Structure 1
Amino acid sequence: MLQLENIISDRGSKYAVSGAPCASEAEAKALLKELKRAKKYAKATHNSWGFLGPEGGVKNDDGEAGAGAIILRMLEGAGLEGHLVVVTRWYGGKHLGGDRFRHVQDAVRAYLEALSADGG
């Protein structure tokens, strides 16, 4: 699983993005469970994710309303089918308002760029 940690920091909140090739919603959930084996990810405020498969997309906001839809929309825009992307946020005590959506987009963008640079 490709993990990019501490990619965004804003008003105490910190973001990471992770992902891996994935063939099904069941595999996506298994990958998420594997990610949460790391204590820091298990204790994160939100692990929002999206997966785009042959039958369509699956998303989960994990309490960060709208984040899963943003991830899924970006996967669709990039044409990245068969991949799970998880945006993790550790809440820093201050509300970010609409900036949180920009941070989710920036996190997914960073993942897509890293994947592209890696030849994926």
Structure 2
Amino acid sequence: MVGLLPTMSTNEEEIDMILGMFSDECERCEGTSDSVVVHLPFHFELHVTLPPRGYPEESYPQLHLLSSPNAQLASAFSQEVNRRMRDELPLGIPLLAQLIPLAQSVAEVLKDLKEKAEKERRDEVAEEAHQLQREEQYRRETSIDIWSGEAIVDRRSRFVAHMARVHSIDEVREVVQYLHSIKNIACAAHPTIYAYRFTDANSVLQKDSDDDGESGASVKMMFLLDQLQVDGYIVVVTRWWGGILLGPDRFKHIMEVTKNILLTIPEREREMAASAKRKSAE
């Protein structure tokens, strides 16, 4: 009887073909003949196994992500590759030659999106730094100081409160106009939602508010000023819209940034008193 050599399965033949076509990107898994590891852009590594039964007539390759830049991108990559594999690759023919370029494409898209998001964040940080510089210059050129609080971010919408001492309607207008002159603020969906409360030279309480298109927001801000019996301040809230409707949560965030900056008034007044004392001693 003549000895028979073991025959190569169709799956093994496809794996060998892929290793030849993508020699720089693919390597065979040790101890297996039906799996490869695919090295993709942006530090993604994908383990691909061809099912022993039903492939490629009835089953797709089994995909397992071995590594990625972070957990969020891992989830996005796995979902997108599996979705596109089932939407774009027809059963009935060997799929690896199409699957690997598809996975490379998904990795490249996610890399571009990540780099774009990082650039946008760097631009935001740079713009915030420029804003602080402009505010500092403004403080040197005018008698009105404007303070900005910490931002609240929810689903890419950002809320920031600004506050200044005011003693007249002219000073209220000056603060609002100055904030509108800052490019990063002027381009917001609602640049200057404000409420003010001060006692004028005739000992008459003056107060008013403006929604700046965010209907109902400034009344809630004024409620806080009244509750805290604020006298001599304007609070302005800027909202940058992130593309997702927040519903009533937007009012919660507007109230929170307003309250947070109002609670700094005692500290601000101590600083102003100390500064005035130093100047008088000079």
2:180 to 26, 33, 36: 36
SS in 1 for 2:256: helix
1:25 to 169, 187, 190: 169
Structure 1 residue aligned with 2:69: none
Deviation above 6 Å: which 4+ runs of structure 1? none
- Distance in structure 1 (CA, Å) of the matches to 2:208 and 2:168: 9
For structure 2, the 5+ residue unaligned runs are: 1-145, 200-204, 271-282
Structure 2 residue aligned with 1:61: 211
More helix by share: 2
User: Shift of residue 108 of structure 1?
Assistant: 0.8
Give the count of matched residue pairs. 119
- Distance in structure 1 (CA, Å) of the matches to 2:246 and 2:266: 29
TM-score (norm. length: structure 1): 0.90
Flag the structure with more relative contact order, 1 or 2, with Cα contacts below 8 A and sequence separation at least 6: 1
User: Shift of residue 25 of structure 1?
Assistant: 2.5
More strand by share: 1
Is residue 221 of structure 2 the alignment partner of residue 78 of structure 1?
Answer: no
2:254 to 89, 92, 104: 104
- Distance in structure 1 (CA, Å) of the matches to 2:164 and 2:268: 12
Is residue 221 of structure 2 the alignment partner of residue 49 of structure 1?
Answer: no
Paired residues of 1:41 and 1:88 also in contact (CA < 8 A): yes
Deviations 1:40-75 (A, max 9, x none): 111111120000123332100000111111111101
SS in 2 for 1:118: helix
RMSD (CA atoms): 1.4
Greater shift after overlay, 43-52 or 54-63?
Answer: 54-63
TM-score (norm. length: structure 2): 0.40
SS in 2 for 1:27: helix
Paired residues of 1:17 and 1:87 also in contact (CA < 8 A): yes
Greater shift after overlay, 85-94 or 35-44?
Answer: 35-44
Paired residues of 1:13 and 1:89 also in contact (CA < 8 A): yes
One-letter code aligned to 2:261? Y
- Distance in structure 2 (CA, Å) of the matches to 1:105 and 1:42: 21
One-letter code aligned to 2:239? R
- Distance in structure 2 (CA, Å) of the matches to 1:14 and 1:61: 17
Paired residues of 1:22 and 1:83 also in contact (CA < 8 A): yes
Greater shift after overlay, 78-87 or 18-27?
Answer: 18-27
User: Shift of residue 27 of structure 1?
Assistant: 1.5
SS in 2 for 1:94: coil
Deviations 1:75-107 (A, max 9, x none): 111111110000110011111111111111101
- Distance in structure 1 (CA, Å) of the matches to 2:156 and 2:182: 21
SS in 2 for 1:62: coil
- Distance in structure 2 (CA, Å) of the matches to 1:52 and 1:70: 13
Larger of the two Rg values belongs to structure: 2
Paired residues of 1:25 and 1:51 also in contact (CA < 8 A): no
Paired residues of 1:25 and 1:58 also in contact (CA < 8 A): no
One-letter code aligned to 2:213? G
Paired residues of 1:71 and 1:105 also in contact (CA < 8 A): yes
For structure 1, the 5+ residue unaligned runs are: none
